[in-house]
Structure 1
Amino acid sequence: MTTPRTASLRLVMYVRVSTAGQLDGYGLEAQEKDCRRWAKKHGHKVVKVCTDGAVSGKTSDEERPGLTEALGIIAAGDADGILAPTLDRIARELTVQEAALSVIWAYGRRAFTVDHGEHVADDEDDPMRKFVRQVMGAAADLERGLIAKRLRNGRKTKAASGGYAHGAPAYGQKAVDKELTLDEDEAAVLAKMREWQAEGVSIRGIADRLNAEEIPTKRG
């Protein structure tokens, strides 16, 4: 569904990645890029980007500072609506998703996603509108569940054959020939981080030093 051309709106962008990492590899940077492209195409202005990193889509909005901030901006009247890549980025659980939309519409604001356009507020004279949205949400939830199940089954099969099958090794370790072993380069970085911490350097300060030395994260 495409969004009808309207007057320029002030939109707060919301993007999220989960605790376990996205199955589709759709990270924060890619989500923000898609949202900005959509906003520019439709003549809208992004006034704020709210982010929740490493937060489960099942978590309620009260436990997600980024979403709470976005809804607060809408409630204060500092934005005309919210923009997200997809509805399941706002929330994976259908009940949480519906609750967030209800808040947005209660303040007379609007909800947009890149893949759909505007999600128009429910109308008692058009009950199919709500039905279709919820069915699509349930179908997406089912698809994610099936993918997760296949991944779990794959890990179980790998573990049964004697291999390491518990996700990416922790920083400082690596899997070699299906066994966990020390990653000497990462272990050296960890030792350096512990030294900085002992000196009283903050977490942000440690991160700044790692960036300055161009030391990559586990995934580069």
Structure 2
Amino acid sequence: MTQLIQPNTRTSAQGKTIRAAIYTRISFDDTKREEGVERQEHDCRKWAAANGWNVVAHYSDNSISASKFDVERPQYDLLCAAVLTGEVNAVIVWDVDRLTRQQGQLEWWLDMARRGRVTLACLCSIRDCGFSHVKVSGLVMGACRPLLQGLV
């Protein structure tokens, strides 16, 4: 079974040194001050430090929707490329809906995790704050449940 997180270690389940990226996103920032993504980054960095994960990159898409198919997320695309090239092998997000709200994208991340290409840490799942606010909660929990068993 693939594990979604591998806490308190500097190595992934595959024995590789963790090279983590933090991904932050907020759909609408009317102030343009990036306070929401900064709070997410702070929480993710705090979690990484507490769990011995080396953060090598931070990608942030401020005031960009993840649910609209016709909206480009340049930093998200760079994150995906970094995972494919092996530049990063772990991704930390505040909540899974910060990473994606599209089924195909979620399936891609879960496939990368199953293949051992990336280890995913989702802080809300770790803290058990639930997914009731996520529009696609049924999809997310259905897809993630096998990976979260025993972790939350």
TM bucket (normalised to shorter chain) is: 0.5 to 0.7
CA shift digits 1:55-108 (9 cap, x unpaired): 112035982111111111111111121111010100123443233333454462
**Equivalent-residue separation in structure 1 for 2:103 and 2:29 (angstroms):** 19
The count of residues paired between Structure 1 and Structure 2 equals 122
**Which residue matches 2:62?**
53
Task: Report percent identity of matched pairs.
Answer: 25
1:100 has 2:103 as partner: no
TM-score after normalising by structure 1: 0.47
CA shift digits 1:20-71 (9 cap, x unpaired): 66xxxx7111000000000000000110100111211203598211111111
1:39 has 2:48 as partner: yes
Alignment partner for residue 91 of structure 1, among 100, 122, 129?
A: 100
**Equivalent-residue separation in structure 1 for 2:22 and 2:28 (angstroms):** 20
**Which residue matches 1:192?**
none
Cα distance change on mapping 1:142 and 1:11 into 2, 3 Å: closer
Q: Indicate the SS of the match to 2:79.
A: helix
Matches within 5 A, 1:1-220: 3-8=6-11, 9-19=18-28, 27-60=36-69, 63-106=72-115, 108-117=117-126, 140-141=134-135
Task: Read off the aligned partner of 2:111 and give its amino acid letter.
Answer: S
The question of whether the paired residues in 2 share the 8 Å contact of 1:14 and 1:51 is answered with: yes
Q: Indicate the SS of the match to 1:96.
A: helix
Task: Read off the aligned partner of 2:122 and give its amino acid letter.
Answer: T
Cα distance change on mapping 1:91 and 1:66 into 2, 3 Å: same
Which of the two has higher C-alpha Rg? Answer: 1
* Deviating more after overlay: 107-116 vs 66-75: 107-116
Q: Indicate the SS of the match to 1:74.
A: helix
**Which residue matches 2:143?**
none
TM-score after normalising by structure 2: 0.65
Task: Read off the aligned partner of 1:72 and give its amino acid letter.
Answer: A
Cα distance change on mapping 1:62 and 1:104 into 2, 3 Å: farther
**Equivalent-residue separation in structure 1 for 2:51 and 2:69 (angstroms):** 30
CA shift digits 1:101-158 (9 cap, x unpaired): 33454462211111224xxxxxxxxxxxxxxxxxx76873168xxxxxxxxxxxxxxx
